[in-house]
Chains A and B, each alone.
Chain A
Amino acid sequence: MTNFIKDPVVMMAERNPDPVFSNDELVFSDQEKRLIERWKSQYPTVDGAIMRVLWLAQEKFGFLPPEVIRLTADEVGIPYANAYGVATFYTQYYKKKRGKHVLDVCTCFSCQVCGGYDILHYLESKLGIHVGETTDDGLFTLQEVECLGACGSAPMLQVTNGRYVMDLTHERVDALIDTLRKGKTPEFTSVTLPQDEDELGGNRRSDVKEFQASSPRPVSETVR
C-alpha cells in the first residue's frame, strides 16, 4: 500500500468506465434471487439487505465494478448512489479487481509487535510485489490490514475475506502459498484456549481438524 500520509492523493474512480460484465452476465439466478428476497424480508425496510447482497455479488462476480453495484441496488430496490456510497465505505468490498487470492496481512497493534511487518515484507519479497500490488500471474494480491481480532495468534493474515491463517512463520507462509497455488483452500483452524489445553488436553472441537495451541509469539524484526 502506498503510504497515504507520504503521498496523500485520493484518486477518483473512473466516471464512465467500460463495463466489465455484459448485460447477459449481470443477472442473479433464481436461487440467488430467493436468497435476496429472504434478506430483504429480514429488515423493516429493504435497505438493510444491501450489505448482504453486495457480498453475494462479490462472491459471484469476484469484485464490484459499478455495473455490479448498480445491479445490487436495483435488486434490493434502493438508489444506486446509496449502494455505491456503501460499497466504497467498507474495505472488504473490492471495487477493483484483485488477484485470485488476496492476502490481508495484519500489521496492527499486537501483530505489529509480534512480527506482522516481518510477514508482510517476507511476502513482498517472496511474491516479488509491494503491498497493494498484484502478482503478474494474477494469483496474489498483498494488502496490509487493521486488527482482525486474532491478536493472540499474531502475526496472522486472512485469505480473500475468508480463512484466517494464524501464528505465521516463514515456513507457514511458504506452505500457505503452496496450498493456494495448488488451488486448495487452507483448513479452518481453531485457536485453542490455553485453559482448555490444561483442562481438556487441547482443542475442544471434534469437528475441526486443525488447531493452534498457545505459544510465545515471534520476536518482530521490523515494526513498519
Chain B
Amino acid sequence: MEVKPTGQSKAGDWKNFQRVLLPPVKDLHKLEVYEAEGGYQTFRDALSTAKWTPPAVTEEVQQSVLRGRGGAGFPCGLKWTFMPPVDENVPRFLCCNADESEPGTFKDRQLMEYNPHLVFEGILLACYAMSIKTAYIYVRGEFADWITHMEAELEKVYAKGYVGQNILGSEFSTEIVIHKGAGAYICGEESSLMDSLEGKRAYPRVKPPFPAQKGIWGYPTTINNVETLACVPLILRYGGEWFSQIGAERHPGPVLYGISGHVNRPGVYEYPTGMLITDLIEQVAGGMRNGKKLKAVVPGGSSTPILTAAMIDGVTMDAETLRDAGSMMGTGGMLIMDEDTDIVAWLRRVTHFYHHESCGQCTPCREGTGWLENIVSRIEEGEGNIRDLDLLVDLCSQMEGRTVCALADAAAWPVRYTIERFREEFEARCRPSLVPGAEVMETVE
C-alpha cells in the first residue's frame, strides 16, 4: 500500500532562500516600516495601472498555482473564479480565516504578529480582484492580544486611506472588519465560520451550495486562510511565474512550517514547499531533542495521518508527495515525536479534542467522536481488548464521508492511521481476551 517516494528535496537551494512572507525586517509590523519596504505599492499599482484589471489579478493568482494554506490546499485563483458575476444589488464578501485552531498549527498567529500589513494588503487585493466591498477577518477569540495589535494597525491603514470609501481616490471601496471568535475549533471550517459571523451557533452547512453561491447572509463569499491571502501581494509584486517556480511544482510557493514537539529548535519557519521532512527536522529545526530517535511525524495538523519514522524517508512537504506517502499537507503544522512518546495516550488526547470540538449537529460526528474517545481511553488504561481495534476502524468508516462537514473525517483519520501504523503498540496495551472485562486466563496451561 505504501508508495515510498524516492524523491529528493523539491525546495531547491532552500538554505539560501530569501524569506518573503516574513522577511527579516525589524518592526515590519508597523505601517511606516511596511511602507518603507515597498508595502502597499502593489495595491497602489493594482488600483492605478490599467494592466491590473480585477480579472487580471485573479489570472495572475491562478498563474501562481497558489494553493490554500488553510488545510485543504484548494487552488486559490480557481476558487476566486467561482464568484458569480458582479451585481451591484448583491453584496459580496471576503473572509480571511484566522481561526487557526487545528492542533499543531501556529503559523497564522506569527504571521499576523510580524507582518499584519501583508495580510491586509492581500485582503485588499483579493477584494479588488473579486469586487468585494466588505472583508471580515475571523480571528479566534484566544488571540486577543493579536487582535488588539492588528486593530491598532488597521486603524492606521484606515487613516492612511488604504481601506474605506474611494480608496486612494479610486472608484474602489472596501471595508475590513475584524471579528473575534470565542472558543470553538469548528469555526475554522468555512461554512461554520459563516454562521458564526452571522451571530448564530457555529453549525457547518451542507454543501452545495458553496460559499461562492450562498455564503455569509446568503451572499457570494470567498474564504481564504491568512497565509493564502498573504501570498497574494507577493504574487502580484514578483509575478505568478516567480511564485510558481518556488518549491514543489504542483504545490509551489513559500510556506510557513510550524514545527513543534521534540526538536531542538521548534518554531515557525519560512521555506519553499517541497522540503524534505528529514531536512526540516535535522537541518532546520536543529535535530531531535536530546539525541533521541524519531518515532513519528504528523505533517500538517492533528487531522493529517501520522507518519512513522520509517515512512518519511524521501518524503517532501507538498500535497502530492504527502498523499503518496499516506498523509496530507494540511496546515503545515508539523508535530515531531520521539521514541519515548506514548502514542496510545497521544491518540486518546487527539480523540478527546475532536469529541470536545464537534459542533454536535450531525449524528455520526456527535456520537462517533465520543465513542472513539471512550474506546481509545479504555485501551490506554489497559482495559481494552484487541477486538476494540477493529471496532475503532469500523467506526471510522462509519464516520468518514457521511457528515455535514469534514470534522468527522478529521477525527477519524488520526484514529484509523495511528492504529494502522502503530498497531503493535495498541495491541500491547490491550487485554488478550476477546471478552471485554474478562480475566486473563494465564494459569490454565
Q: Measuring CB to CB, which residues of chain A are less than 8 angstroms from any residue of chain B?
A: 4-5, 8, 42-52, 54-55, 76, 78, 82, 85-86, 89-93, 107-110, 112-114, 146-154, 158, 161-164, 188, 190-196, 199-200, 204-207, 214-217, 219, 223-224
Contact = CB atoms under 8 A, between A and B. Distances in A.
A195 B183 contact: no
14 contacts: A43-B177, A45-B217, A51-B182, A51-B196, A52-B179, A82-B199, A82-B200, A92-B181, A113-B337, A147-B105, A152-B260, A153-B266, A206-B27, A217-B289
B63 interface: no
B262 A217 contact: yes
B374 A5 contact: yes
A86 B103 contact: no
A165 to B, nearest CB: 11
Contacts of A152: 106, 258-260, 266-268
B118 to A, nearest CB: 14
A149 B143 contact: yes
B6 to A, nearest CB: 29
A169 B29 CA distance: 30
A13 B396 CA distance: 33
Interface centre among A110, A194, A204, A214 (most CB of B within 10 A): A110
B185 to A, nearest CB: 6
B391 to A, nearest CB: 16
B260 A114 contact: yes
Given A147-B353, A223-B345, 5 more contacts: A76-B199, A78-B199, A85-B201, A151-B103, A193-B268
Contacts of B264: 215-216
Nearest to B289: A216
Interface in B22-52: 22, 24-30
Interface string B300-338: 001000000000000000000000000000000101010
A107 B349 contact: yes
A217 B263 CA distance: 8
Given A78-B199, A161-B141, A164-B145, A90 B184 contact: yes
B290 interface: yes
Contacts of A194: 265, 267-269, 285-286
Given A44-B91, A47-B199, A112 B349 contact: yes
B3 to A, nearest CB: 27
A192 B268 CA distance: 9
B341 A113 contact: yes
B260 A200 contact: no
Contact of B28 (A153, A162, A204, A215): A204
Interface centre among B24, B143, B286, B377 (most CB of A within 10 A): B24
B26 A206 contact: yes
A90 B183 contact: yes
B115 to A, nearest CB: 10
Contacts of B219: 44
A71 to B, nearest CB: 16
B345 A224 contact: yes
B241 interface: no
B27 A45 contact: no
A47 B25 CA distance: 41
B19 interface: yes
Contacts of A5: 355, 370, 373-374, 377
B140 interface: yes
Contacts of B180: 51-52, 55
A205 B182 contact: no
Contacts of B174: none
Interface in B106-134: 106, 108-110, 113-114
B175 interface: yes
Contact of A109 (B270, B335, B373): B335
A78 B219 CA distance: 21
Given A91-B184, A92-B142, A163-B145, A193 B201 contact: no
A112 B344 CA distance: 12
A172 B65 CA distance: 45
B200 A86 contact: yes
